[in-house]
Every structure is written in C-alpha cells, then in structure tokens.
Amino acid sequence: MIRAVRAEGLALRRGERTLFEDFNLALGAGEAMALTGPNGAGKTSLLRAIAGFIAPAAGQIAFQGAAGALEPDEARRGGVHLIGHQDGLKPGRTALGELMFQAGWTGGDEAGALAAAETLGLTRLLGLAVRHLSAGQRRRLALARLVASPRALWLLDEPLAPLDAARRAQFGELMTAHLAAGGLILAAVHDPLPIAARAVALGG
Amino acid sequence: MSAAARLFRRELALAWSGGGGPLLALGFYAAVTTLIPLAASPDPRRLAGVATGVAWVALALASLLSLERMFERDFEDGALDLISLGPLPLEAVAAIKALAHWTAAGAPLALAAPLAAVALGAPVALAPLIAVTAAIGGLAFAFVGGLGAALALGSRRGGLVIAVIVLPLIAPPVIFGGAALDAFAGGLPWTTGLLLLGAYALAAIALCPFAMAAACRNALS
C-alpha cells in the first residue's frame, strides 16, 4: 500500500517542448493536492508520468510503503488509479458489466462495487448500455469504479468537470472518506476541489 | 475468478458483441471461397488442384479482419490505461487478448476451413489435417496479428497498416501449412511441414507478447 509519493527534480518533455523542469512534489497519506495551471502546462502529463505512462526526461518519481521504498511498477499495479479525460467505458456493454470487470480488475469486490454505485446514485442505471448514459452519468460510473477499487493513490484529471453541484459535493464526501482511510489524492483541476487541498501551480 | 480469467471473458464478450467478430470473419471467409470458382473456373478438376491453397489464403485474409479491434478500441476509450494499471503486466494482457482473439475468430475459422476446402473439391481425407493446420496457423496469425495491431495503434488508417505489417509475417505459416497439406495429398511425408508450422506458432506465442506490450507502452506514452 502506498503511503507517500515523491517527485524530485522532475522534467517532462512532449516532443520538442519542455513542459516543466525541476519540479518537486511530496504527497503523504491522508493528503490531497490540487494541481492548477493553464491549458498545456503539463498537468495531465504529470499525472500520466506518476502513473508510469510517460518516462520523465529528468528526475525521478518514488513511492513509499509502510515498510520503506516500493518498486515503482509494483506500486503502480497495486496502488494507483487514474481517472483521465476518458472514462474507459465500452459503449456497447452494460454499465453493470463494465463496473464489475473494471472494479474486479483493479482488485475490488462485487459488494463494494454495488455499494459505490448506490452511493453515486447509479443503481437504477446499471442495466443500461453505456452508450445510453450521459457524460455525467458515465463519469459517475468511472468514479464508482474508483471508489470500489482498493487503491491508495488517486490520480484525477478534471474529475468533476461533467458533474452537477450536488454530485460534486457528494464526491467531496467520498474523497474525504478516502483521505481519512489513509489515501492520497492528486487532482488536476480548473475549478476548486470540494475538499481542503494543498494547491500547486504548474507552469505559467 | 482470477484476473486472467476475468480479462479473457471480457475480451471474448467484446469480440462477440457489437456486430463482427466470428460471424464477420466466417461470412468473409465464405464469400472469398465462393468467389474463387466464379472468378477462376468452375471446372471441378482445376478447382480441386487449388482447393487447399485457396482455403488457406482465404483463412489468412479472414483472420486479418477483426485485428484492428484488438487494442484500438481500448486505446481510444482509455480502457488500456486502466488495464495497464491492473494486476497483470502488459505482456500477459497482450497474450490473453491474442488468445481470446483466436478463440473468437481463429477457432471458428479452423472449423470452417475443411468445409470450404472440401466444397471446392479437396479430398475428404484431407479434412482433419486442414482443420489441424488451420487451428495451429490461426494461433500464429492471432499473435503476429496482435503485434501488427499494437504497432498500428494511433495511426489513422490502422486496418491498412496492420495488413501491410502482418501479411509478410504470416507468409511462413501459410507456406508450411500448405506444404504439409500438399505432401499429405500426394502421399509424401507430411509431418515436417506441420512441425515447422507448430514451431512458428510457438515462437510467435513466446515472442509476440513482449513486442505487443512494448508497442502499447509506446502508444500510451
């Protein structure tokens, strides 16, 4: 289980362009961090670098567990969940099928997935094909999968964008519960998060 | 249920759903093998001579059909991100996807191949060997094809790119399988061709998952 994540002297490059250099970040258990910055500052790339998809041009990303440093690939496979711009849901499959596969794949169980769906008000929609869900409903399904997966580090890329005010407040409660259980949240946002979070600005 | 079984079931369900998968491949296969006598010659003696060869080539082409869906859909809708952060390394994920592709498209085609060859005039005694070579060759097609599908990720005309990458790579199994069938029909020793075909399939199964995973990582970065 991930207890802390640290980036030191991180530099990311996309193509010829350097997004940022010498970036430092430290996040511990129970902490939330809001990444802000203009479009193209590298918020998404930073999240994807921490998730292991993008190799940094310089610097390193390290994960700490209860018993010391963790092997990065192993830490990611068992402890990281990324909600990107896309929800990763197949239009032709039912919401229930997608939720069960994805929550199970990331280590959750069926009871937890159903409970998460109920919390997010999805129970009545589970029988529908994903293509019949609205953007907000699809995002709620992705968030139910996130909540149902026993992953410590949540990497969230604009998680609230398609949600209405009530659902945002509700997801705030779920984030608070995750932090109280020793989780870590790193979210790229334009609007403020509904919970108290350290703000870090990228680029300018 | 283990993570591997869970992924395999999902891949099979995806291959069967949404119009396509095995029915599409079988329909295409039937259409190609029907076109040959119409285009070449309906003379049974001439057809019988090329029946097994035609059945093989049509099989190779039909296995190309649904390759594009193997990684592309998961890549485009973000599911590949999620799958990469799962319990299995991408190499295992790629092998499971290729195996599911073979189960959904390759195995039904292997059952259809002897029917098509015999309908075109191949001797009935050849049918079991055609099914065996088609099943083994289909495994090689699925793994080599998966490599093409992973390499073509993110390119705009993926289907075409896959065909151009994969067709040269599946020439050897087509040759080995065809040689085994020819030798069997002519009463010659035929096991060499079958063994070479098996060796090619095993090499593809052993090596292609690593290449597929590397290509996926490259596309995701």
* Average pLDDT over every residue of A115-124: 89
pLDDT tens sequence across A47-106? 999 999 999 999 999 998 888 888 888 888 888 999 988 888 988 889 999 999 988 898
- Chain A positions touching B80 (Cβ under 8 A) are 88
Size of interface A-B (CB pairs under 8 A): 71
Q: Considering the domain boundaries, does residue A136 fall inside one?
A: no
Number of domains in chain A: 1
Q: Are B211 and B91 in contact (CB under 8 A)?
A: no
pLDDT of B59-96, one tens digit each? 888 888 888 888 988 998 889 999 999 889 999 999 99
A54: domain CATH number?
3.40.50.300
**In this complex, which of A52, A73, A105 lies closest to B6 when CB atoms are compared?**
A105
Is A103 among the domain residues?
no
- Residue B20 one-letter amino acid: G
User: Full-prediction pTM beyond 0.80?
Assistant: yes
Q: Give residue-wise pLDDT tens across range B32-44.
A: 888 888 887 778 8
Q: Identify the CA nearest to B163 among candidates B139, B51, B155, B106.
A: B155
Domain span holding position A190: 2-90+151-201
pLDDT tens digits along B204-215:
999 999 999 999
CB contact under 8 A, A92 and B10: no
pLDDT, tens digit, for every residue of A145-154? Answer: 999 988 999 9
B156-166 residue pLDDT tens: 777 888 988 99
Tell me the mean pLDDT in the region A116-132: 90
- Residue pair A99/A145 in contact (Cβ under 8 Å)? The answer is yes
Average pLDDT over residues B13-28: 80
Domain membership of residue A84 (yes or no) is yes
pLDDT at A166 over 90: no
Report whether B77 contacts A89 (CB < 8 A): yes
Cα angle A42, A25, A20; round to 5: 30
Of all residues in chain B, the percent with pLDDT exceeding 70 is 98
Which DSSP letter does residue B103 get? Answer: I
Residues in chain A with CB shorter than 8 Å from the CB of B81 are: 51, 53, 82, 84, 86, 88
Distance, CA of A110 to CA of A170 (rounded, Å): 22
